Copies of this chain bind each other. A is one copy, B any other.
Amino acid sequence: MPVEQLNLVFAALADPTRRAILARLAEGEATVNELVEPSDLSQPTISKHLKVLERAGLVSRGRAAQFRPVRLNAAPLEGAAQWLGDYQRFWAESLERLDVYVKELKRKEGRHGSRRTRR
């Protein structure tokens, strides 16, 4: 995936309204009005968010006359997921370290507990 598109995809995902739009479109295509209705936002605001998503290649608009339904185009998300995938071993390592730490705490707690029992 080109660097420039990766920038646009991550920037598009940085907004909760845009993530909510994608979640809605994951259930099926929708008209702009159908996207505006459940939100507290105006139609121009939703349209602005759609333009950001469209530039990132994450949605496309149908040509069907006046309604032009909006469709999810998930392919660019794969590029973002692949980028994140390169770091998977690092968060796995953090979890491993956390696990070791928790076990150590439990071990200490166990010793502490038995000491208490001995008293």
Contact = CB atoms under 8 A, between A and B. Distances in A.
Contact of A19 (B22, B73, B83): B83
A86 B20 CA distance: 13
Prevailing SS type, chain A contact patch: helix
A13 interface: yes
Contacts of A10: 10-11, 13-14
A107 to B, nearest CB: 24
6 contacts: A10-B14, A11-B11, A26-B86, A74-B90, A74-B94, A81-B81
Q: Which 6 A-B pairs have the closest CB atoms?
A: A74-B90, A11-B14, A10-B14, A10-B13, A78-B91, A74-B91
